[in-house]
Amino acid sequence: MNSRRVILLLALATLFLVGCGNRASGLPGTCWRWVEIDGRAPLIDAEATLAFDAKSVTGSTGCNRYFGEYTASRGALAFGVLGQTEMACLEPKGIMAQERAYLDALARAEQFTVVDDQLTIRCEGGQVLVFSAADE
């Protein structure tokens, strides 16, 4: 593994370990666990996460780690280009297709709402992602 990749992975780990704070203040400082896409649960044993800081986002697809920037204002949400690690996961079956669907949905995010401990992201085309609060 080259040194640039190691530095990038360490930076991602640091961002993720900063912790998740008060969800009442909006997205910055919050962490979420993906629980539903269009009414269907994701694969078991493939937990996807989403963590926001002031301007960037990090998380796991259940296989790879991802990172990038986002903008959010008055319920509108958009993610910039998301980078990711490039591992191939064979288990659970279907994980790579789920990862692609998850990242594609985030790329089409348009609106979000936070109610209690639930984040809902509505995407272009009508797709809906639902997350529950996660304490990291």
16 pLDDT above the threshold of 80: no
Q: Is 5 exposed, middle or buried (0-12, 13-18, 19+ CB in 10 A)?
A: exposed
What CATH number corresponds to the domain at position 21? Answer: 2.40.128.270
Question: Quick one: pLDDT at residue 34?
Answer: 95
1 pLDDT above the threshold of 80: no
pTM of the predicted model, to two decimals?
0.80
- Say how many domains are in the chain: 1
Rounded CA separation 13/75 (Å): 28
Whether 32 and 16 have beta carbons less than 8 Å apart is answered as no
Among 44, 38, 46, 42, which residue's Cα sits nearest to residue 63?
46
Q: Report phi then psi at 109, rounded to 5.
A: -60, 140
> What is the pLDDT averaged over residues 62-88?
95
The domain in which residue 74 lies consists of 3-133
3 pLDDT above the threshold of 80: no
User: Half-sphere exposure of residue 84, counting CA atoms within 13 Å on the CB side?
Assistant: 20
